[in-house]
Chain A
């Protein structure tokens, strides 16, 4: 059992909003996993909606900063993956509905 649960980490990351679509990264389904150890080292596995995203570096930085706001977090490692490739089915129902994807 680590310092924070996956849900707690997701809650922290949910403060990061994609300015293009107006939804946060968690409800977009872009955060695949998050875990922490007892020392406060956090690992986030995530993707982006497109490889060509010009905000690429910035979004990763925002995720890092959002997690670092949690007390006692020592280090945040972000693994950016492209498999599985993100698609709209990974987003929350209200996001799909708002975008017209249903």
Chain B
């Protein structure tokens, strides 16, 4: 038998805290939007920094780490090196994130402490993933993308800690320059490459697509990796030309990635537009909008356009990409643990039956409207629009957590 054993699923009680905490951070991030002042929003302002870490560490990273606990064995086809380590990762990430969020808002002296706790949490994660990868005999391309992404995460954390020390006045470095390397390593190098690599496993799995070439993905990940590396070296060597080479290479990666996703969607046999498919469509549309806004920024150098681009990328692309996958991952995990032993003995629900229709739809509608309104608010510098958008986002966040708890408690 040509076996690729997948029997390495970690227990749901290990993964559930990542998703539940991530969901509550998602709500908290919508509330943090109320702290913005549309009139004088800058990317170095404390409210923006606090929000960014609340959203990226608390929601994005927390949820990705939980998902990786389940997906790494599926992708790597081996069991975890030490799956129990995940019990230490979420509490540390939770504490570190809270310290950093509060530190940015009220007390910069707390930043190195928060940064160190986050660093420990992420080092455990990266170490566990690398030791798991070591068990793999032959790496395929998706596995290699996991290695590349986690290498960037490792360096991203180091840059982040240096910045936290500088922010608190412990060491003296150019924070704004280091910020570039930090953001690029974590957002482009880790989150970007992780999403690219895993989506090629997950999207075809849920859409039943087959027989597409992986060459565009290889090109996309190679270009994005070169782009991130180039930006890191531009920071370290203080060479502006490398920075623009990095931006160009990263932008060039995206059409290749969009192309393969387009091919998968175009040839997908499963055409039903469930909440997952709708979330994915919104996410990819948001990615295109974020890209267009970034191009406008490079042409006209208006900071509000850059902030709007980052906003659409974060809440539009990352947000919907993650919430969409939650509607697939949680029902599977709960079903696997609660209902799979009953197969053949009694009637069991299908995975789609476990997704609450109304609250998941409410989440997509409210969050979608919120993302659009806040993007306009940032560009137009309108506080009224900003608060309106944040209100929609808040209700979207509540609907998301409500949906998540419904799926987790499904009996």
Contact = CB atoms under 8 A, between A and B. Distances in A.
A100 B74 contact: no
Given A19-B351, A52-B75, A62 B5 contact: no
For chain B, which range describes its interface: under 10, 10 to 19, 20 to 34, or 35 or more residues?
20 to 34
A62 B211 CA distance: 27
A39 to B, nearest CB: 21
A82 B70 CA distance: 24
Contact of A57 (B6, B206, B208, B335): B6
Interface string B207-224: 010110000000000000
B269 A100 contact: yes
A87 B211 contact: yes
B5 A56 contact: yes
Interface string A54-74: 111110001001100000000
Contacts of A92: none
Nearest to B273: A100
Contacts of A99: 208, 269-272
Q: Identify whether the interface residues of B are mostly helix, strand, loop, or mixed.
A: loop
Nearest to A66: B344
A96 B269 contact: yes
B344 A100 contact: no
A21 B210 CA distance: 16
Contact of B270 (A52, A62, A66, A101): A101
B7 A57 contact: yes
Given A52-B74, A87-B210, A81 B2 contact: yes
B74 A86 contact: no
Nearest to B205: A50
Nearest to A50: B205
Q: Identify whether the interface residues of A are mostly helix, strand, loop, or mixed.
A: loop
B272 A54 contact: no
B332 interface: yes
A19 B348 contact: yes
Given A52-B74, A58-B340, A100-B272, A21 B208 contact: yes
A65 B343 CA distance: 10
Contact of B336 (A16, A17, A55, A65): A55
Nearest to B352: A22
Contacts of A93: none
Nearest to A47: B2
B299 interface: no
A15 interface: yes
Nearest to A98: B272
Nearest to A23: B350
A50 B142 CA distance: 15
Contacts of A17: 350
Contacts of A78: 1
B34 to A, nearest CB: 39
Contacts of B344: 15-16, 62, 65-66
B201 interface: yes
A49 interface: yes
Interface in B13-57: none
A87 B351 CA distance: 21
Contacts of B74: 52, 54
18 contacts: A50-B205, A50-B208, A52-B6, A52-B74, A54-B9, A56-B5, A57-B5, A57-B6, A58-B343, A65-B344, A81-B2, A85-B210, A87-B210, A87-B211, A88-B269, A91-B269, A100-B270, A100-B272
Given A54-B332, A58-B343, A88-B269, 8 more contacts: A49-B205, A53-B205, A56-B5, A56-B7, A62-B343, A80-B3, A82-B2, A96-B269
Interface of B: 1-7, 9, 70, 74-75, 201, 204-206, 208, 210-211, 269-272, 332, 335-336, 339-340, 343-344, 348-352
Closest 5 CB pairs of A and B: A100-B271, A88-B269, A101-B269, A56-B6, A57-B7
